[in-house]
Each structure stands twice: as C-alpha cells, then as structure tokens.
Amino acid sequence: MTRSIDDAVDILRASRRVVVTTGAGMSKESGIPTFRDAPNALWANYNPEDLATRAGFRRDPALVWRWYAERRAMIAGAKPHEGHLALARWEQRFDAFTILTQNIDGLHVAAGSKDVVELHGNIFRYKCFDHDHPVAEPLAGAGEPPRCACGSWVRPAVVWFGESLDADHLCAAYDALERCNVLLIVGTSGVVYPAAGFAATAKANGALVIEINPEATPASEIADVFIAGGAKSILPVLATKTVDPIAGP
C-alpha cells in the first residue's frame, strides 16, 4: 500500500485541478452504515427499489417517511471524521477542488468543504412530492408524512432511483470532470449511475484516477492507482504528503 500512496502523492503533486467523488464508505467511519456492507447495511432489511423510489413512496408513504426519519436521526448525531477534514483543508491548495458526493448526510459541508455537489440531495431538506414546492422543516408530529401547503405530501429532497439528478448539479459535475487532472474516488461500490460512470468520463478526458476503498470495485479496473484502505486513515496521509502544488515540489 505504501507504493500506491507514494504513486498517488506523485500524481497529486503534479495536479492543479482535482475532483473527488465520494460514496457511503466515506461516511462509514462517522458511524453511518453503508448500503451494502452487512450486518447493519441500510438495505439489509429493505429493498431500495421499494423505498427510494416515487412508486415506493406512493405505495407506502408512512413507511418511506419513517425510514428517512430513522436515517436522519442517526445522521444528525454523526460528525465529519479526519478524512472529511483533510479534504476541506486540501481544497485551497489547488486551483480547483470539487467534491461530487452521492451522500445525503451533509458531512462534507459540515467539515468546511466549499465546492461540494450533493448529487443525490440532502436528507435534511424537504420538498413537495407532486410539485417540488420547497418545504421548510416540517413540525415534529405533523403526521406521517406531513402535507405541503398545496395538499400534496412532503418528501425528503433526495434523488430517488428513476429520478433525474438536478441539471445544474450534473452540469457542474461534468464540467469539473472535463477539466480535472485527477479524479479521486473514495468509498463507493460504483454501482449507481450516473456517479458510477465518473471514472470512465475522467479517463476519457485525460485525467488520472486514484481509488481509495478497502475492496476492489468496477472502477479499480481503470484506476491508475488503487489504495486498499479506509477514508479516515488514508486521506489525511495523502493530504499531509502532498506539498502545495502551487508553490511547486
């Protein structure tokens, strides 16, 4: 692993424009279960297609509302770890440093990162199910799920399967991927699109790809460097070893 860390540091030192894409593995060491890692994986007891979809919500709005309320309560107690903080510190040492996260927990922003695209929304934001009306935080006990002023349901402002991502977010993501010298992929199983396609997009644009994950994923096949490890321990090491590229080596 030391060799791969040194290889990654060499690439980062020579880079000025960085994109980092993160998945649930980035937040695992903040105490938030991932979707697939047993035993307390989020999807161990639920099928995502039953819950994280419009049809699933229509079928049983109270169940989906409660599933998100349980996750929100757990996430509310989570704090950014040293890996999130390392990314926030690292940001100002490059010409561009964009985080494209699939996570809805808000931990990158909480850690102080400024250029964050929450591709799949944020569990602490709400909207109207039928018309996307913005909805302030519903009053506790306001029924499950509460109602929008227009009479429709209130839902979490997250992107469900089968829903398109926000056009501005996609535009920002592909613009950053087109211009970056390096894509850092942290803590994602690389299954859910369009985020799962970012590695191929970056490679096609001439960027180098570094992946940090305890296990190999489909992206590992095209990554230039694979670091087998956890986000909390690896990211601070990379950040410390990467001297300020603006000032040169």
Q: Could you tell me if residue 130 is left (phi over 0), alpha (psi between -120 and 50 degrees) or otherwise beta? A: alpha
The answer to whether 246 and 14 have CB atoms below 8 angstroms apart is no
Tell me the residue nearest to ligand BV8 as measured from the CB. Answer: 25
CB of 249 to ligand BV8, least distance (A): 28
Rounded Cα gap, residues 60 and 223, in angstroms: 41
Residues paired with 22 in a beta bridge = 101, 186
Contact segment (CB under 6 A) with ligand BV8 among 139-147, 169-177, 191-199, 200-208 equals 191-199
Among 113, 188, 237, 245, binds ligand BV8 (CB under 6 A): 188
Q: 96 or 165, CB closer to ligand BV8?
A: 165
Rule CB under 6 A: is residue 106 a binding residue for ligand BV8?
A: no
Nearer to ligand BV8, 16 or 53 (CB): 53
Taking CB under 6 A as the rule, does residue 176 contact ligand BV8? Answer: no
Contact between 15 and ligand BV8 per CB under 6 A: no
- Helical ranges in 14-60 per DSSP H: 25-28, 48-51, 54-59
Which residue out of 81, 84, 108, 120 is catalytically annotated?
A: 120
| Helix, strand, coil shares, percent, the chain, to 5 | 40, 20, 40
Report 199-218 residues binding ligand BV8 (CB under 6 A): 212-215, 217
**Which residues from 110-149 bind ligand BV8, rule CB under 6 A?**
120
CB of 135 to ligand BV8, least distance (A): 17
Closest listed residue to residue 119, CA positions, set 39, 196, 13, 5? 196
Does the protein bind ligand BV8 through residue 40 (CB under 6 A)?
A: no
Q: Cβ 92 to ligand BV8, closest distance in Å?
A: 24
**Annotation says 120 is catalytic:** yes
The region, left, alpha or beta by phi > 0 then psi within -120 to 50, assigned to residue 38 is beta
Stretch that binds ligand BV8, among 12-20, 125-133, 134-142, 183-191 (CB under 6 A): 183-191
Structural Rg of the chain based on CA atoms:
19
Q: Tell me, what DSSP letter sits at residue 147?
A: B
Identify the CA nearest to 213 among candidates 236, 197, 190, 237. 190
Q: Binding ligand BV8 by CB under 6 A: which of 158, 208, 223, 238? A: 158
Q: Should residue 36 be labelled a site residue for ligand BV8 when binding is judged by CB under 6 A?
A: yes
Task: Please name the residues in contact with 181: beta carbons below 8 A apart, sequence gap of 6 or more.
Answer: 14, 15, 16, 17, 18, 207, 208
Residues designated as active site: 120
Instruction: Point out which residues bind ligand BV8 (CB under 6 A).
Output: 23-25, 28-29, 34-37, 52, 102, 104, 120, 158-165, 186-189, 191-195, 212-215, 217, 230-231
